Amino acid sequence: MGFDQARVNRIFLPGTYADGVPYALFRELRAEVPVCWVEEPAVGAWPAGPGYWAVLRHADVKHVLRTPEVFSSHLGATQIRDPDSAADLDFARTMMLNQDPPDHSRLRRAVAAAFTPRALRELATAIEARAAGLVAAVRPSGEADFVPLAADLPVWTLALILGVPERDRQLLVDWSNRVIGYQDPDYAESSTADPSSLTDLGRAALALRPTVRTAPDGRPLNPRSRAALADMFGYAHALAEHPPPGSMVARMREAGLGTAEFETMFFLFAVAGNETLRNGLPGGLYSLLTRPDQYALLRRRPELVGPAVDELLRFWPPVLEFRRTATRDVLLAGQRIRGGDKVVVYHASANRDESVFPDPDRLDLTRTPNDHVSFGYGPHFCVGAQLARIQMSALLRRLVTDLPGLELASDAPPRRLVSNFQNGLKELRIRWG
């Protein structure tokens, strides 16, 4: 196919992304082999996998995402790595993210009431106030690490939606770190919650945290499995015994979800629900500050914050890829894919497809139309997309208006997350004034 297989495999290796998203390689592959076979070599203690088809062009990515009858979220779930056991797969399949219509539609309806226009308007007021408070609190210092500052807003918002007490918010941070950062040694064992500051529910959950990190067969414990997240699920069930009225946990109880469905829905909100903002806000700000003309444009015209958010999400997609599984033999972009094969769509590549986005490697806050796929496409289009836009807009607006002279700290280069799934930063030092 004209490409050395080891070079193609770079798009799988987590270490590749520690140096940045391989956009140049994606561009070459889109031009010559837009659907290509990628091997899954062993990475550290993680065993090798069977390999998968990478889908890199915008049109093909959208086709896969809108045809669940051919490319299923349910058959093998939506992570590149296969679940370790049949039991792990069965558990993963109860999550809304890992279901196909009509079951997916049933679970989506159960939580959609939290994202109605009226509910979002009410949340927007609180989010604006929180964003203003966060920026005001750091303004006198003249400098900060933006990553924890940015992470505060989605975690605070999700705690509010779920009904998690303020004192237990840091548990959400640790759960997210362990799941989305399991390939990164800085995050894999995250334990930052101070037991003395937690509620009784929080302390009881800490006692359930697994201390053994390997499966019975000696492989690393799947960080998304029920066993690896016993503390989070224990907390969820305890909170559900007396949930705050109107909270998402209360809604889930009223919807009559089964035990596994309740656990995986809590997982989806507590962990997956903050990934976009935790990655998108630092990555978006970094993209903005490294392009002074666009930062200056947003300062002059703060009304552009809406389209700016979508362009920043296109330019720095928070999630790099998602998996599907072929339900039958199918031809895609000239490649014969067999039923049962893994098919992985790369949002990061689709968002730079030159056939859709003129001058795709240029950040353009006035870009329109902007058909990025950072929120997915089709039945699984992110249910919280508008909430994410509200949060990004609120914090970006405060940053560019309330922190004059905002710039990157020249003596502290940003540190990237080691992950082939999440496009994140672990540290982003900024200065102002």
Whether the Cβ atoms of residue 344 and residue 323 lie closer than 8 Å to each other: yes
Report the share of the chain in percent with pLDDT over 90: 84
- Higher per-residue pLDDT: 105 or 222: 105
* pLDDT for 200: 97
Whether the Cβ atoms of residue 65 and residue 378 lie closer than 8 Å to each other: yes
Angle of helix 273-289 versus helix 292-300 axis, rounded to 10: 100
For 113-135, write each residue's pLDDT tens digit. 888 999 999 999 999 999 999 99
Whether the Cβ atoms of residue 314 and residue 374 lie closer than 8 Å to each other: yes
Going along 41-165, which residue ranges are E strands?
49-55, 71-72, 143-145
* pLDDT for 40: 97
| CA-CA-CA-CA dihedral for 227, 229, 230, 233, to nearest 10 | -130
Whether the Cβ atoms of residue 52 and residue 36 lie closer than 8 Å to each other: no
Tell me how far apart the alpha carbons of residues 186 and 316 are, in angstroms, rounded to a whole number: 22
Whether the Cβ atoms of residue 30 and residue 11 lie closer than 8 Å to each other: no
Residue keyed to tokens 């050395």: 4
Burial of residue 371, with CB atoms counted within 10 A of its CB: 0-12 exposed, 13-18 middle, 19 or more buried: middle
* pLDDT for 413: 93
* pLDDT for 76: 97
Provide the CA 147 distance to its chain's centre, in angstroms. 15
DSSP letter (8 states) at residue 117: H
Whether the Cβ atoms of residue 62 and residue 377 lie closer than 8 Å to each other: yes
Whether the Cβ atoms of residue 226 and residue 263 lie closer than 8 Å to each other: yes
In order, the DSSP letters of 169-200 are HHHHHHHHHHHHTTTSTTTTT-----GGGS-H
In order, the DSSP letters of 323-365 are EEEESS-EEETTEEE-TT-EEEEEHHHHTT-TTTSSSTTS--T
Whether the Cβ atoms of residue 55 and residue 346 lie closer than 8 Å to each other: yes
Residue positions counted in the chain: 433
pLDDT at 415 over 80: yes
* pLDDT for 112: 86
Mean pLDDT of the chain: 94
Whether the Cβ atoms of residue 45 and residue 217 lie closer than 8 Å to each other: no
DSSP letter (8 states) at residue 168: G
Tell me how far apart the alpha carbons of residues 315 and 286 are, in angstroms, rounded to a whole number: 11
Domain ranges of the chain: 5-431
- Higher per-residue pLDDT: 424 or 3: 424
Tell me how far apart the alpha carbons of residues 157 and 182 are, in angstroms, rounded to a whole number: 24
What are the beta bridge partners of residue 336? 331
For 213-240, write each residue's pLDDT tens digit. 777 777 788 888 898 999 999 999 999 9
* pLDDT for 366: 97
Strand order of the β-sheet with 71-72 is 35-40, 49-55, 342-346, 321-326, 71-72
Tell me how far apart the alpha carbons of residues 91 and 85 are, in angstroms, rounded to a whole number: 10
Q: What is the mean pLDDT of residues 164-185?
A: 92
Residue keyed to tokens 């992985």: 344
Q: What is the mean pLDDT of residues 2-28?
A: 94
For 337-384, write each residue's pLDDT tens digit. 999 999 999 999 999 999 999 999 999 999 999 999 999 999 999 999
* pLDDT for 75: 98
For 26-64, write each residue's pLDDT tens digit. 999 999 999 999 999 999 888 999 999 999 999 999 999
In order, the DSSP letters of 255-310 are TT--HHHHHHHHHIIIIIHHHHHHHHHHHHHHHHHTSHHHHHHHHH-GGGHHHHHH
Superfamily of chain region 5-431: Cytochrome P450 (1.10.630.10)
Per mean pLDDT, which range of 137-141, 272-276, 315-319 is the poorest?
272-276
Angle of helix 385-402 versus helix 305-315 axis, rounded to 10: 110
DSSP SS3 for 30? helix
* pLDDT for 218: 75
* pLDDT for 2: 62
pLDDT at 99 over 70: yes
Q: Measured on CA atoms in the order 360, 365, 368, 369, is the torsion positive or negative?
A: positive
Tell me how far apart the alpha carbons of residues 145 and 178 are, in angstroms, rounded to a whole number: 20
* Closest C-alpha to 128, from 162, 163, 153, 165: 153
